[in-house]
Structure 1
């Protein structure tokens, strides 16, 4: 039987050093990329969509401003 009160021993907290990339799957990629650029200080870097020959997926690559 599973007991939800006893979750076992806790691990020591790790340290987050850095990351290479994060992928978000969203319903409206243009709106999401625009939000991150306007509100959180990112900048557009690359685009993949109908104009570049991709008929199934639209991707916006954004980069943090250094």
Structure 2
């Protein structure tokens, strides 16, 4: 590492998330609204409108 000479820097991590786990996370967020507004939280957490959010899009965003 140039910031910390003599130390190892992790540059990438590959991981796998089970489909049912990703689906449960998405489902638990599906109806969450921003406080004080009528906008779904998924609108800013998925990269597409909440009603078009898929578990794949949600996990990749």
- Looking at secondary structure, tell me which structure has more helix per residue: 2
Q: Considering only CA atoms, is the larger Rg found in Structure 1 or Structure 2?
A: 1
The interval holding the TM-score normalised by the smaller chain is: under 0.3
Q: Counting strand residues as a fraction of each chain, which structure ranks higher? A: 1
Q: TM-score, normalised by structure 1?
A: 0.25
